[in-house]
Structure 1
Amino acid sequence: MEKEIYIIRHCEAKGQPVESELTERGIQQANDLAKFFSRIKIDQIISSPFSRAIQSIEPTSKEKKIDIVINESLSERKLSSRDLPDWLEKLKTTFEDMELKFDGGESSQEATYRAISVIDEIINSEHQSTIVVTHGNLMSLILKHFNDEFGFENWKSLSNPDVFQLKFKNNEFVYERLWKEDSK
């Protein structure tokens, strides 16, 4: 059976903490996502527990009359528990060394394993078409899992929001980027 997984990076938010909400622009983007998905059949919606992720998919959830399932495994990856002034350079190195881990943080490999566990659950479920709402770094690691060429520069080019479609058919995965600012 063919499966379609729409991986969404949340809309524009006011910050990085778990409770950060969407900006006014982010709220409009969430409504644009609902329009984008209005003609696409969706069976389930799974989201990171972060407020910005949930708020990004709420308009779609309401329109589709599908409850949002919260999954901790879709939470943003924690790079370190310490403030890293050079965090961007450190993040770049984690795309090159998947096992690299900073104080109190999670390696790219660890984050990938937990994210892919969600993808595996979807593949083994009865649902054919699923929306997964997560964060930029975790989205990048999911895509890197299926294409090792996906790296730091690809992460930098992601937008808020962003949408990739991951298709699973005949035991093969392919993905494509669907979101463009004129996708509305």
Structure 2
Amino acid sequence: MKKIYIIRHCKAAGQEREAMLTVEGIEQAKQLAESLQQYEIKRIISSPFTRAIQTIEPFAKKAQIDIERDERLAERILSTQNIDDWLEKLQQTFLDMDVKYEGGESSKEATERINQLIEELFEASVEDAAIISHGNLLSLLITKYNSGFGFSGWQAMKNPDVFLLTKDGQDITIKRIDM
């Protein structure tokens, strides 16, 4: 049985690539590290964004696991232009996976990007892995396995948030883990 722990980063000070965790986020990361110790995680793959790395660093140090950085876990770009009604535009991308705004990535493209990594992890020899990424991208992945998650699921996500994706033979399930 393969297990992939899907982790949304802790509370951050912004959305830019180098945005760091807030003081609260740093405390959340320490608490997350304690909670994750009960699992058999052997591999960690993270978005290269600072807030994602900072989220998993306390656990990685305790577990003595190197953090692999993977661009496929980077934040999804909705558009390179400022969009006043960005929330409505984002919702539209959950309704139509092919919608794409200027300089952005469609939901279909983003889902394919992260799913490529998930498929590699399912094929890898390591049983239990953790990926650390961002709410928008992770909600698309969760929606792939639970169609009812969608935009409202994204809205309900917390910082941090943890889900468990399990593959047992051909059966794939996903569920939220309370931390």
Please state which band the TM-score falls in when normalised by the shorter chain: over 0.9
Give the aligned partner of residue 38 of structure 1. 37
* 1:149-181 residue CA offsets vs partner (Å, 9 max, x unmatched): 2211110000000000010001111011003xx
Question: What is aligned with 2:97?
Answer: 98
What is the CA–CA distance in structure 2 between the aligned matches of 1:147 and 1:39, rounded to whole Å?
25
Partner amino acid, structure 2, of 1:137 = N
Q: Give CA deviations for 1:109-157 in whole Å, capped at 9, x if unaligned.
A: 0000000001001001001000000000011000111122221111000
C-alpha contact (below 8 Å) 2:146/2:174 kept by paired residues: no
Aligned residue in 1 for 2:68: 69
Alignment of 1:127-142 (within 5 A): 127-142=126-141
Give the TM-score taking structure 2 as reference length. Answer: 0.99
For residues 82-117 of structure 1, the C-alpha deviation after alignment (integer angstroms, 9 at most, x for no partner) is: 000100000000000000000000000000000000
| SS state at 1:174 partner | strand
d(CA) in 2 for partners of 1:125, 1:38: 22
Name the counterpart of 1:152. 151
- Structure 1, residues 2-25: CA drift from partner, whole Å, max 9, x if none? 100000000000000000000000
Deviation at 1:43, TM superposition (A): 1.0
Q: Which runs of 5+ in 2 are unaligned?
A: none
> In structure 2, what is the equivalent of residue 3 of structure 1?
2
Matched, 1:21 2:51: no
Return 5+ residue gaps in structure 1 as ranges: none
TM-score by length of 1: 0.96
Distance 1:92 1:154 in 2: 11
CA distance in 1, matches of 2:153, 2:124: 30
Shift of 1:41: 0.9
Distance 2:42 2:119 in 1: 16
Mapped to 1, the partners of 2:76 and 2:171 lie a distance apart of 26
